[in-house]
Amino acid sequence: MTLRHRTAFSAIALFGAVALLFSACTPKDEAKREEAKPPPDALTLAPLTFAELPGWRTDPVAQAIPALARSCARFRTQPADRPVGPNGVAGTIGDWQGPCTRLADLPPGDDAARAFFETNFTPYAAGNNGTREGLFTGYYEAELEGSRRPDPAYPVPLYRRPADLVMVDLGDFSDRWRGERTAGRVVDGRLKPYEDRAAIVAGSLKGKGLELVWVKDPIGAFFLQIQGSGRIRMVNEGNGGSEMRVGYAAQNGHRYVAIGKELIDRGALKREEVSLQTIRAWLLANPDQASAVMNVNPSYVFFQPLTGDGPNGAQGVALTPGRSLAVDSKFMPYGAPVWLDAEDPLDGRQRLQRLLIAQDTGGAIRGPVRGDVFWGHGAEAEQKAGVMKSRGTYALLLPKSVKVAAGG
């Protein structure tokens, strides 16, 4: 008999037993539980010198200048006293005005770029309560074939954001929820969960005029949602077809669940085997189970057509391949340069040491030391993003005028 079918008496008895159990706990037991509980995630910052950044003298850092320039353009639209990052961890917009102004007059070349950063910024080792190492993954701009109208060869719709989807920034209600967001729909004056992936894939939004484009298969659509942006080549429009670029518009509010773990739990893949490529291969080889496995992830992404230089990140600027980084905005500031030192995704014997700019976030990017490198589009970008599960560290570069408290 399931819990929801138990009688009221059984529920009361269960409550009493639980109450008795906890009443029997001594203060010493409570203290032990508190000691065993890990501390909540917290960003800690420790000052470094540029000489302590591994690979600083060899990275072509000038390649990161266009990405930083886009973030500076964003900063220029904001008031000088506005905090940058959660709790003003990166100072205020005013702290960035000087470096951003000088960036506009920067001569070309890596030496000039290095001198610019060394003159205007101080690097800080980022940690989670002092622990520096974290996980770094990659993402890319997916490429699919599609159609602007329903077609037997392209039966899977990508949906626009529904009008009744309400996005909620929980930080508006309490500082302790800063950086947390959810979504739902209002029913009888109350916010209720929106349909999950399984319901939407089954057709709950069909016929509402939300279809943006149709693609060939659900597996391709699934990975497009994970990446958050892509290029759809319209192969049935003649003259080689046209291309539509699509990007993230909204999400249904359900938490992202990685299906790689589901495949590990099923014994379908070993932990060390999990990558975008192996997950896709398993789904294609097991069509009778693919839908159920994909629906383990209840999160569903809605799209919008894109124009401009590239997919936009959460900061509202176009991402730069190989130089933009997705971070957890609950801890890290958008627009800040970050020095990454991690395992190379294609050769674990080498190090990936480069300057990136924090410009995006993602549903799976959680914690102070966690990043997702944007690799661009194409086969090489997909390969790097698909296999990247690198352990590493990063340092946050802040304007010298920013005052950082000791220990973070």
Q: What is the pLDDT of residue 310?
A: 79
Do 264 and 157 belong together in one domain?
Answer: yes
Do 240 and 384 belong together in one domain?
Answer: no
Q: Which helix or strand (DSSP H or E) is residue 181 part of?
A: strand 181-187
Q: Tokens 């994909």 identify what position?
A: 294
**CB-based contact 181:170 (threshold 8 Å):** yes
Overall residue count recorded for the chain in this entry: 408
Distance CA 79, CA 39 (A): 35
Do 80 and 193 belong together in one domain?
Answer: no
Within a domain: 24: no
Q: Is 30 exposed, middle or buried (CB count within 10 Å of its CB: 0-12, 13-18, 19+)? A: exposed
Do 117 and 133 belong together in one domain?
Answer: yes
Do 199 and 126 belong together in one domain?
Answer: no
Q: What is the pTM of this model?
A: 0.81
pLDDT over threshold 50, residue 5: no
Within a domain: 277: yes
Task: Work out the pLDDT band at 27, boundaries 50, 70, 90.
Answer: low
| CA distances (Å), origin 141, targets 74, 138, 405 | 22, 11, 38
Do 207 and 267 belong together in one domain?
Answer: yes
Within a domain: 32: no
Task: Work out the pLDDT band at 349, boundaries 50, 70, 90.
Answer: confident
Q: Tokens 């190989």 identify what position?
A: 322
Do 163 and 269 belong together in one domain?
Answer: yes
Do 381 and 268 belong together in one domain?
Answer: no
The residue out of 263, 282, 306 marking a domain boundary is: 306
| CA distances (Å), origin 94, targets 75, 89, 172, 373 | 9, 13, 24, 28
The most distant pair of C-alpha atoms in the chain lies apart, rounded to whole Å, by 78
Within a domain: 1: no
Do 122 and 187 belong together in one domain?
Answer: no
Q: What is the pLDDT of residue 6?
A: 31
Q: Tokens 């790097």 identify what position?
A: 384
Within a domain: 381: yes
The residue out of 306, 335, 353 marking a domain boundary is: 306
Do 84 and 202 belong together in one domain?
Answer: no
Within a domain: 35: no
Query: Could you tell me the two tokens for 253?
Result: 């509010």
Do 198 and 100 belong together in one domain?
Answer: no
| Span 241-255, average pLDDT | 91
Region of residue 26 (phi > 0: left; psi between -120 and 50: alpha; otherwise: beta): beta
- Give residue-wise pLDDT tens across range 294-332: 999 999 999 999 988 779 999 999 999 999 999 999 999
Which residue type occupies 97? Q
- CATH number of the domain that residue 217 is part of: 2.40.240.50
- CATH number of the domain that residue 352 is part of: 2.40.40.10
217: domain range?
140-306
Within a domain: 30: no
The residue out of 272, 306, 340 marking a domain boundary is: 306
- Give residue-wise pLDDT tens across range 88-102: 999 999 999 999 999
Residue 398 CB neighbour total at 10 angstroms: 27
Within a domain: 187: yes
Number of domains comprising the chain: 2
| Span 225-244, average pLDDT | 83
Do 191 and 293 belong together in one domain?
Answer: yes
Distance CA 71, CA 85 (A): 13
pLDDT over threshold 50, residue 20: no
